[in-house]
Each structure stands twice: as structure tokens, then as C-alpha cells.
Amino acid sequence: MTKKFKAAIIGSGNIGTDLMIKILRTGKHLEMGAFVGIDPESDGLARAQRMGVPITHEGIDGLLNMENWGEIDFIFDATSAKAHLVNYEKISKFPNKRVIDLTPAAIGPFLVPPVNFADLHDVPNVNMVTCGGQATIPMIAAVSRVAKVHYGEIVASIASKSAGPGTRANIDEFTETTAHAIEKVGGATKGKAIIVLNPAEPPLVMRDTVFTLSDMASQEDIIKSIHEMVAEVQKYVPGYQLHQEVQFEVIPKENPVFVEGLGHVHGLKTMVLLQVRGAGHYLPEYAGNLDIMTSAALATAERMAANMKGETI
């Protein structure tokens, strides 16, 4: 049997628990080595214990003191931006540990699997941006590989019930991190991000709207690029799809729009409407915002592990 790499998850909330179940059910190169929380009564820790996963409720220090710490190859941090700063300061003292950061801390470079994995496959700490970033940056990058994108804006609408305390405590970090990643990874000169917590009942699935303003280019080429990128994301998030066909509007030179930080801009406006439905491993299907984060993190670690074995996936 091919050896699997052991993974530890820090954070016993919804994201951490969903990620654990994904590894247990679908892990090809990874297996669970530890599940870490700070609340001994948390549902996630209880569930992990029932599944035979080694646990600790003493946070990062508890993980470092576990008997099998030396065997851990990958650490997923599903806590908060502030907690990750403390966690990574301690983890970084140990060589050969790969950290996948699911918080907005962004100590390491932003990674969106179908866009820039090849450039970051051996980096010790990578940041998964945000749920909105994972859903929308591939679309901005799809336009960017056809035409220069001057402005990229995303609006992520998620069910209020799928926004836990970690998400709510990091709203500012969400918008800032996502906007920065739109520029850094998506290729836009200027980026902006907005998140909407939708209280509708029954809860609605994640919906994302992506706007780009680019140089003029073939609309057919942009549509083709977008559909190819959607197919790439669907390899690890099957519930990712276009909600409507791509829409365009020509902004003429004689009637430009004003973009803060850029001034008056003209060109081709592209609008992409997305829907993200979760896989339902642990979380409800409407929580596509959480599912795309855990799925992207797992896809990243699986590809890293495959590379470490000399394989490709």
C-alpha cells in the first residue's frame, strides 16, 4: 500500500470538521494524524474521537506535544487570522512541515489551485485567500489570460447560517485579503471585494458576481477561457457552476467609467454569475462558501503530496 502523508487540522469548527471528513473519505495521498481544538466540548473533537482520529483540546501547544507530532507532514490551520500568526510562529521552528492556511492571515503567498499552484507547489506556508476569493479569482484570471484586466470586483453572497463566528470576526480581513488577491493572483490592476450575509430562509446556496473591466478583446475567447476555468474548478468542487451565461458591455472611450484609484477607464466589461453548492460531507449543501475553502485546501495539499512522491494529479 502506498504510504500516505499524515495531516493535522487546527480548528475544530465547521471548516476544520468538514476538512477532516473529506480527508477521511476521499484522501488519496493524505490521512488524518491529529485534530486540534481549544474547546473540549466541541462537536468536532467529539466526532474526530469517534472516528479514531488523535485529538487534543489544548490548541497548538497540545499538537506540538502529541506523540505523533514528528510524523505530521501537513498542517491545515482553520482557526482565525490572529490565531494563525501565533500558530505558525511555533510551527515554523520545525523543518519540513507544510502549512495550508485557511484563515485571512496571509503570511504565505495566496494560492488558488487552478491559477497558480505550479508556482507555489513547494512553498512551506500557502494561504487559501477566502471563500469568495477561491470562487471568483479563477474567473478574473480567466479573463486576464485573454485581456489586460484593469479592474476586478466580486460580490460574494452566502447564507447567514453558513457564516460562523470565525467568518464574522474576520469580515474586514475577508474584504482586504480578497481584494489584494484579486490583484496579486487574478491579475487585475485594482481589486475590490464585498461580502453579503443573506438571512433568507430556507438558506440559499453561495452566489458570486464577478465584474471585470479589461482592454477590448474577443468575447468568444473570454467565454472559452471562462468555461475552461470552470471545468478546472469542478475537478475538486463539483457544485461549482455558472448560474447564467457570461454577459458583456462595451464601455466606450468617449463615455468612460470612473474607478477609484484608476481614474476614468474604458474597455470591455465582463460579468460572470456563479453558484457554488457544497458536497454535503459534513456541512449542508447550501454552505458552498465553506466547502470551496476545504475542497481547495485539500486539492492543494493532495497535489503537493503527489509532487513529493514524484507523481502528478
The residues carrying an active-site annotation are 131
61/79 Cα distance (integer angstroms)? 14
* Closest of 86, 113, 100 to residue 9, by C-alpha: 100
CB distance 204 to 213 below 8 Å: no
What cell does 112 get? 488558488
3-class secondary structure per residue, the chain: CCCCEEEEEECCCHHHHHHHHHHHHHCCCEEEEEEECCCCCCHHHHHHHHCCCCEECCHHHHHHCCCCHHHEEEEEECCCHHHHHHHHHHHCCCCCCEEEECCCCCCCCECCHHHHHHHHCCCCEEECCCHHHHHHHHHHHHHHCCCCEEEEEEEEEEEHHHCCHHHHHCHHHHHHHHHHHHHHCCCCCEEEEEEEEECCCCCCCEEEEEEEEECCCCHHHHHHHHHHHHHHHHCCCCCEEECCCCEEEEECCCCCEEECCCEEECEEEEEEEEEECCCCCCCCCCCHHHHHHHHHHHHHHHHHHHHHCCCCC
- Residue 79, judged by CB atoms within 10 A of its CB (0-12, 13-18, 19+), counts as buried
Q: What are phi and psi of 305, to 5 degrees?
A: -65, -40
